[in-house]
Amino acid sequence: MAQITNTIRRLRFDAGEMTQKDLAARAGVTRQTINALEAGKYSPTLDLAFRIARVFGKPLEEVFRYDD
């Protein structure tokens, strides 16, 4: 089965150790949502994926990956 993986934790660290709470506020979701994404327990909607990528100023493919 295919899985969506992400580099959110590394990107937060590279962005001056941005907290989950800070990223959540900038992306318009809860800290729990960011935590679930990082843990691989939740796949984002396309809208949320683009919003998170925009926070980091990265293309979608540098934040999320679809592994099949």
Please, which residues bridge with residue 6 across strands? 64
List pLDDT tens digits, range 8-32: 999 999 999 999 999 999 999 999 9
Q: What is the pTM of this model?
A: 0.92
Q: For residue 2, what pLDDT band results from cuts at 50, 70 and 90?
A: confident
For domain 3-67, say whether CATH 1.10.260.40 is its number: yes
Q: What is the mean pLDDT of residues 55-59?
A: 98
Q: Are 3 and 27 in contact (CB under 8 A)?
A: no
pLDDT, position 43: 92
| Model confidence pLDDT, tens digit, residues 46-55 | 999 999 999 9
Is there a contact between 8 and 63 (Cβ–Cβ < 8 Å)?
yes
Where is 46: in which H helix or E strand? helix 46-56
